[in-house]
Structure 1
Amino acid sequence: MIDLEERPYQIPRDPIRLMSRVYKFLLPDVRSELDQWRVRAEAIPDPELRRQALASIATKEFHCQGGSVYAAARLDQRHVLIPLIVAFQTISDYLDNLCDRSTSMDADDFRLLHQSMLDAVDPDAPLHDYYELRDEKEDGGYLHRLVATCRNCIAKLPGYEAAKPQILMLVKLYTDLQVYKHIKPELREPALLQWHAEHQDLAPGLEWNEFAAATGSTLGVFMLFLAASHRDLDQTSAEVIRHAYFPHVCGLHIMLDYLIDQDEDRIGGDLNFCNYYDNTEMMLNRISLIVQSARQDVTVLPAASFHRMIIEGLLALYLSDPKVSQQQEIRSVSRKLMKKSPLTRLFFFVNSRWIRKHI
């Protein structure tokens, strides 16, 4: 297993050191990257593509901010990791907007759009015309530029070949999810159930909706990007990392995202994986179980305290979201999940609220 403790860029082991890096280095770098992508998005010729690209940057900046935490473990490589994480997450957020508010419900269209994510992490693959199957086509090279940025950064990761099979696996699952969850409403659940039946060995113990949620997270990919910044990464270590993050850390990430988005998704007619529990108590128990499993899974990784901080940070980030206070049922679930929280989670909770208000 690779050693993340390479001095003088030692991985942060405590919340104060982690957050000092977040404030001093990561948030400014993320803002700088997103400012550049915003300028490029403003130049997109097609008005619908331009609108969705700009909206994804404006409303989902915190996705890039959260993903950038992995660069805190390699400040010397943040000039590679942050542009890579921001570009990859921006593709994800942009395509999510295109599919959520799509002018079509064509599975082939969704799959071709998301081929860009697979191409972004596979520098040997040919590029595609990602808009071929939809009416809106003219993005002025925006999506191809995002893909190229990912590839250029990946070329600077010395351990990438070892990480690549695990990354491709996670991105392929992500792509499948985005196809099945955006097709016609009456087809979504049967497709997701069949898909889970084919892959349930990847997530034993999780229900179909929890497995689907796990595939929707980019955190496993970001952790593998970080691991690939070490030249001594091998395929066995990469597989251990993927197992440590998928399915439970990844599942927790997206279940929390769906938890706070229930009202929003109900209004938009979007599928929400928290709606498949019999009652609120069952939902709370299942999320609590996923939290416990995630904590256990990361104990196999070097510098496990860093990954435990990420888990506590996820809980703090989502449960401090203003959407929680606007939904009575979710407010109750949030209070129960935060009950007897460790100091680390409370620390991140306060910081998450401060960042939302001031940055």
Structure 2
Amino acid sequence: MDEIIDLGRLDMDPSRRSVLGVGLFSVALAVPAWPDVVGRMEAAQRGVRTRIGMSDVRTVAAMTEQLSSLDDQFGGRTARPLAAAFLVNTVVPFLRTVGPDDVRRAMMSAASDLCYLTGYMAVDEGLHGLAQRYYLQALELAGASEDHLTFCTVLRGMSVQAVDLGQGPVAMRLADAAAAASPQAGPRMRAFLAGQQAHAAAQIGDRRSALLYLQEAEVAMDKAEARGKVFGSYDPASLSYHTSQVRFEMGDVHGAVAAMEESDRLRYGIYRRTRVKERAILAERQLATGHLEAACKTWGLALDDYPQVNSGRIDKRMADMFGLIRPHIRNHDAQALYERARETVRPELVPA
């Protein structure tokens, strides 16, 4: 509990947030296994309230959902201080308050989900050491509440963080751990897990496993979609993204472009931050295949939404864009994009 308070207070205080960048991603992080944390109920420490009920659990779950929506639309930099403040000022006191065992478990499960989301927002800002600390707290709370779904989701999120940093072996280990911890997963969850296993396997050069996992994800997605579409869960747009990443890791850049275009076409409009980030990735790959004008158009679409999103990952993509476009600056489209970007992105990203 003290670790959650320390994390949240540091994260919500603007005067101390510069300290957060010190922690780096650790490839040797000790990740607890499900048997190590399951049922670990902490002794209740009495807070201001005398008891908690299911209405308090619903409050935490509803706020987490709203914070997730803010993150989707406006980026982690915007939403994370709000999440940290809610965690410290509301959720921790709930966790320290007595209540029936089923309510306590439900509250720890809800708190786990919020810690995971806050860690994901830290990833979006590029604060990878901080994100890992939030993720570990989420795993502890998920185990204590016997919440298999969140436990697996957190492990998968840690795998996503690792694969995006080029740490393929770590990403594979975490993706496999997530799948092993969820033996009773339904088809949508299985697609969610297998898609990440495919990406990690492709990054470590295990082509056979990558294709098998991708096929498994596709079959599972077909089954899930046949049961009904579910907004806010792993969906065909997400699977197309994983298909693109697998193809790219295996050297099929043209196939990666086609799959990323499909992902962009299928994505719900509310996911603005993801749309900007993945359009920037698509543009980079279009340029790599020699389609300069198409790349400039896609980067232009990303710039349309950029002012509304505050994201470290997107800022890095935009900074990279300047370097990629500069050699083509005599091209009319490239020059127009370059000048527009100089007027649109944050000043510190513009090359001197």
- Bin the TM-score by the shorter chain: 0.3 to 0.5
Q: Between Structure 1 and Structure 2, whose CA radius of gyration is higher?
A: 2
Q: Which structure ranks higher in relative contact order (CA pairs < 8 Å, sequence separation ≥ 6)? A: 1
